[in-house]
Amino acid sequence: MRAVCTLSFLVLTLFGSVASADVVDVTIDISKQSMDVYVDGFRKYTWKVSTARNGYTTPRGDFRPQWISRMHYSKKYDNSPMPYSVFFSGGYAIHGTNAIRRLGKPASHGCVRVHPNNARRLYNLVKKHGKENINIMLRTRIDGAVAGHFRGPYLMMDTQIN
């Protein structure tokens, strides 16, 4: 009986650590104002976003989360609430917004805004899988499946990134 319990513990430990090491890829298409979230190569979510409006910019490039905050208040913009923030470049973050009617259109000062429920989902993925296993890709336009950082064997389509 003791050997069975020990073996069960080892199996759970091994499979638990494999599950938590999944790679999460976040692709944000600024031209479409949308975000896709892939877990181990499989698209799990597609969400509307709001990125920078005229006069502001959202950074483009490849990032990893630098830090996360369950509830952050902007020091730069009148203590505006930024629930479930995933900071990826200095003061830029993916975070929830109360302006959900503006999702799908540029509306922010540069951050990537998402519905608060979706911000919570992303925040929890970062907590579960670790910042080192999260890739964030922001592009002006993403055509087709994006496989740039995907390590899973499931995305084999050609891609074009502009």
What is the C-alpha to C-alpha distance for residues 83 and 130, in angstroms, rounded to an integer? 19
Q: Is the pLDDT of residue 105 over 50?
A: yes
What is the C-alpha to C-alpha distance for residues 32 and 138, in angstroms, rounded to an integer? 12
Looking at residues 85-110, what average pLDDT do you find? 97
pTM of the complete model beyond 0.85: no
Q: Which two tokens stand for residue 99?
A: 């302006």
Q: Is the pLDDT of residue 153 over 60?
A: no
pLDDT for 2: 54
pLDDT tens track for 13-34? 445 444 456 999 999 999 999 9
125 φ, ψ (degrees, to nearest 5): -65, -40
pLDDT tens track for 33-89? 999 999 999 999 999 999 999 999 999 999 999 999 999 999 888 889 999 999 999
Q: Are 26 and 136 in contact (CB under 8 A)?
A: yes
Q: Is the pLDDT of residue 123 over 80?
A: yes
- In DSSP notation, the chain reads -HHHHHHHHHHHHHHHHHHHT--EEEEEETTTTEEEEEETTEEEEEEE-B-B-TT-----EEE---EEEEEEE-TTTTT-EEEEEEEEETTEEEEE-S-GGGTTS--BSSSEEE-HHHHHHHHHHHHHH-GGGEEEEEES-EES---SS--STT--S--EE-
pLDDT for 113: 98
CATH of 23-161, one of 3.40.350.10, 3.20.20.70, 2.40.440.10, 3.40.50.620: 2.40.440.10
Domain limits of the chain?
23-161
